[in-house]
């Protein structure tokens, strides 16, 4: 085989470099021409050689130059391929969504960096692992259903499911997958895009919560405001009847003593009694309306976050409630509290509501003790207000944070304080919860993200 053929054979063995036959010929003749041109630029080297040897050496030199040129072109192509591979790998790894390639049994074959950071796991921990191992157990059926559909229809499938990270934390993800063939072209693979949709889910949940709150408000305006209105209407009619009776008593011509007694009863008892109910109903309506006003304002007012000394904030709250403490014969124990970054006025309102409730729902059978404590845990600052009061039954524990929910109506209140507490704490990015035992007492706690940790 001639040297030239050998070169061509070598070049054509690599399928990626294998050009079509007409292309190959053009390419060879281009190389030949360029090599011939270059050799003419070095004629001195051939002078002392006989014609045959001369032509052989010429041929060899041509091939040598051809090889050098091919080599140069290969080097260039390799550099281009490497550059484009680096570009592709950056685009793949740092894409805004996680890319997963699964084999037909659902084992992870490839994953980009975004995918690993979504699951908080290294690539090594993901490869060859079943993708279903990262799906929340309640959402596995949804995924299996979609995956069956994918193989049946061969069409793109998508679903929203919860994924579980390496540390056990959960997030909502949108999964979109298509079916593809592996690089050899004989095995089915699943190509999957995974996007974190927790923000969107949270916005949807917030919307649902707001709708529920709105429904409750409508319920209150239509039900709770109606009952004082019915009272006002009823007792106004009573007053009208009393006035009619007064008029007929004056026209009856009864003896002065009977007349005096009837008038006295109407003026001193019937009318004041009705007036009293009317006034109470007006107060009830007024407090319900101002409660509605308060709740609508609590979400709207400006949020001014700053470092707040919670020890002095709680001292202020206690001093405004000093009178109630004395009245109830209750005492307080305040631990050293960590500072936090929050809206001082709003957190003052939270503490006032919690300590106020702790006082209001004390058990008269024992001396009241209210404890305020605080500490740092998992990047959160947690504050608790605990009492030894009447406590709350299990079935009421979730509901007490609902707007206008009251466990019993025998104490003053609108069922509003805790819903404001919840709203304000959530506005700070925190959570509120409670522990309670009927007959023993309750502890209301709330968390605020630790500004120092973020």
In the complex, the residues that contact ligand ADP under the rule CB under 6 A are: 353, 357-358, 361, 387, 389-390, 392, 400, 405-407, 413-419, 442
Answer for the pair 9, 1: CB distance below 8 angstroms, yes or no: yes
Nearer to ligand ADP, 147 or 436 (CB): 436
Least distance to ligand ADP from the beta carbon of 438, Å?
9
Which backbone phi and psi does 360 adopt, to 5 degrees? Answer: -65, -35
Nearer to ligand ADP, 66 or 387 (CB): 387
Least distance to ligand ADP from the beta carbon of 279, Å?
21
Q: For residues 77 and 75, what is the distance between their CA atoms, to the nearest angstrom?
A: 6
Tokens encoding 158: 């998508």
Q: For residues 216 and 291, what is the distance between their CA atoms, to the nearest angstrom?
A: 13
Least distance to ligand ADP from the beta carbon of 434, Å?
8
Least distance to ligand ADP from the beta carbon of 295, Å?
11
Nearer to ligand ADP, 65 or 285 (CB): 285
- CA 49 vs. chain centroid, Å, equals 85
Q: Exposed (0-12), middle (13-18) or buried (19+): which is 439, by Cβ within 10 Å?
A: exposed
Residues 6+ apart with CB under 8 A from 412: 360
Least distance to ligand ADP from the beta carbon of 440, Å?
11
Nearer to ligand ADP, 376 or 406 (CB): 406
Nearer to ligand ADP, 102 or 384 (CB): 384
Alpha helices by DSSP H, listed for 308-416, are 310-320, 322-328, 344-360
Least distance to ligand ADP from the beta carbon of 416, Å?
5
Q: For residues 324 and 368, what is the distance between their CA atoms, to the nearest angstrom?
A: 11
| Cβ neighbours, 10 Å, residue 32 | 15
Answer for the pair 308, 294: CB distance below 8 angstroms, yes or no: no
3-state secondary structure of 170: strand
Least distance to ligand ADP from the beta carbon of 360, Å?
6
Least distance to ligand ADP from the beta carbon of 437, Å?
11
Q: For residues 39 and 221, what is the distance between their CA atoms, to the nearest angstrom?
A: 100
Q: Exposed (0-12), middle (13-18) or buried (19+): which is 364, by Cβ within 10 Å?
A: exposed
Nearer to ligand ADP, 114 or 442 (CB): 442
Tokens encoding 222: 């239509």
Nearer to ligand ADP, 40 or 412 (CB): 412
Nearer to ligand ADP, 32 or 406 (CB): 406
CA-nearest of 109, 158, 154, 160 to 131 is 109
């Amino acid at each position: 085989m001639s040297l030239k053929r050998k070169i061509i054979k070598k070049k054509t063995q690599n399928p990626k470099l294998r050009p079509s036959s007409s292309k190959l010929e053009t390419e060879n003749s281009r190389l030949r021409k360029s090599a011939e041109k270059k050799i003419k630029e070095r004629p001195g080297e051939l002078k002392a050689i006989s014609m045959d040897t001369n032509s052989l050496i010429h041929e060899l030199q041509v091939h040598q130059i051809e090889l050098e040129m091919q080599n140069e072109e290969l080097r260039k192509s390799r550099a281009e391929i490497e550059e484009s591979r680096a570009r592709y790998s950056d685009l793949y790894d740092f894409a805004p969504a996680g890319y997963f390639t699964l084999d037909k049994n659902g084992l992870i074959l490839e994953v980009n960096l975004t995918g690993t950071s979504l699951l908080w796991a290294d690539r090594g921990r993901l490869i060859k692992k079943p993708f279903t191992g990262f799906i929340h157990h309640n959402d596995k059926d949804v995924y299996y259903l979609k995956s069956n559909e994918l193989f049946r229809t061969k069409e793109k499938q998508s679903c929203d499911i919860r994924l579980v990270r390496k540390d056990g934390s959960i997030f909502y993800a949108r999964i979109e997958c298509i079916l593809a063939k592996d690089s050899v072209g004989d095995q089915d693979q699943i190509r999957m895009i995974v996007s974190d949709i927790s923000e969107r889910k949270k916005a949807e949940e917030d919307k649902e919560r707001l709708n529920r709150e709105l429904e409750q408000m409508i319920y209150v305006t239509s039900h709770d405001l109606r009952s004082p209105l019915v009272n006002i209407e009823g007792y106004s009619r009573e007053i009208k009847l009393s006035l009619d009776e007064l008029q007929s008593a004056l026209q009856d011509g009864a003896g002065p003593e009977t007349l005096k007694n009837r008038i006295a009863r109407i003026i001193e008892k019937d009318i004041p009694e009705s007036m009293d109910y009317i006034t109470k109903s007006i107060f009830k309506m007024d407090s319900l309306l101002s409660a509605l006003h308060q709740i609508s304002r609590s979400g709207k007012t400006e949020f001014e976050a700053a470092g707040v000394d919670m020890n002095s904030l709680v001292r202020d709250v206690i001093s405004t409630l000093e009178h109630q403490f004395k009245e109830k014969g209750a005492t307080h124990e305040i631990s050293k509290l960590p500072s936090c970054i929050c809206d001082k006025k709003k957190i003052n309102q939270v503490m006032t509501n919690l300590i106020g409730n702790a006082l209001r729902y004390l058990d008269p059978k024992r001396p009241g003790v209210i404890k305020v404590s605080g500490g740092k845990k998992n990047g959160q600052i947690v504050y608790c207000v605990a009492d030894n009061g009447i406590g709350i039954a299990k079935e009421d524990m979730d509901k007490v944070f609902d707007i206008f929910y009251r466990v019993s109506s025998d104490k003053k209140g609108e069922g509003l304080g805790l819903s404001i507490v919840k709203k304000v704490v959530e506005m700070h990015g925190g959570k509120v919860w409670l522990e309670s035992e009927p007959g023993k007492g309750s502890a209301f706690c709330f968390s605020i993200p630790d500004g120092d940790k973020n």
